[in-house]
Amino acid sequence: MKIGVICGHRIPNFVRKTEKIEVETPYGEVNIELAKLGDHEIFLLNRHGEKPSLPPHKINYLGNIWALSACHVDCILAVGTVGSLKKNIKPGDFVVPHDFVDFTKSRSYTFFDDNRVHVDMTDPYCPSIRNILIKACKKQGASIKLHDKGVYLATEGPRLETPAEIKLFSQYTNVVGMTAVPEVVLAKEKGICYASLCVVCNMAAGMQSKLTADEISVLYKKKEPFISKILKSAIEILDEREKCDCKNILSKASL
Measured in whole angstroms, the distance separating CA 135 from the mean position of its chain's CA atoms is: 17
Check whether 121 has a pLDDT greater than 90. yes
Instruction: Indicate the number of domains in the chain.
Output: 1
> What is the C-alpha to C-alpha distance for residues 101 and 178, in angstroms, rounded to an integer?
11
Own/partner contacts of 159-166, CB < 8 Å, gap of 24 or more, are 160/83, 160/205, 160/211, 161/83, 161/204, 161/205, 162/205, 162/206, 163/205, 163/206, 164/206, 165/103, 165/205, 166/85, 166/204, 166/205, 166/206, 166/207
List, in order, residues 6 or more apart from 171 with CB less than 8 Å away. Answer: none
The reported pLDDT for the residue numbered 154 is 98
Give the pLDDT band (50/70/90) at residue 20. very high
Q: Predicted confidence band at 210 (pLDDT cuts at 50, 70, 90)?
A: confident
Range of the domain at 156: 2-252
Q: What is the mean pLDDT of residues 140-157?
A: 97
Question: Can you tell me the mean pLDDT for 191-215?
Answer: 90
Question: How would you class 93 by CB atoms within 10 Å of its CB: exposed for 0-12, middle for 13-18, buried for 19 or more?
Answer: buried
Q: What is the CATH number of the domain that holds 170?
A: 3.40.50.1580
pLDDT of residue 169: 97
Tell me the average pLDDT of the chain: 95
Q: Give the pLDDT mean for 34-56.
A: 93
Q: In this predicted structure, what is the pLDDT of residue 55?
A: 95
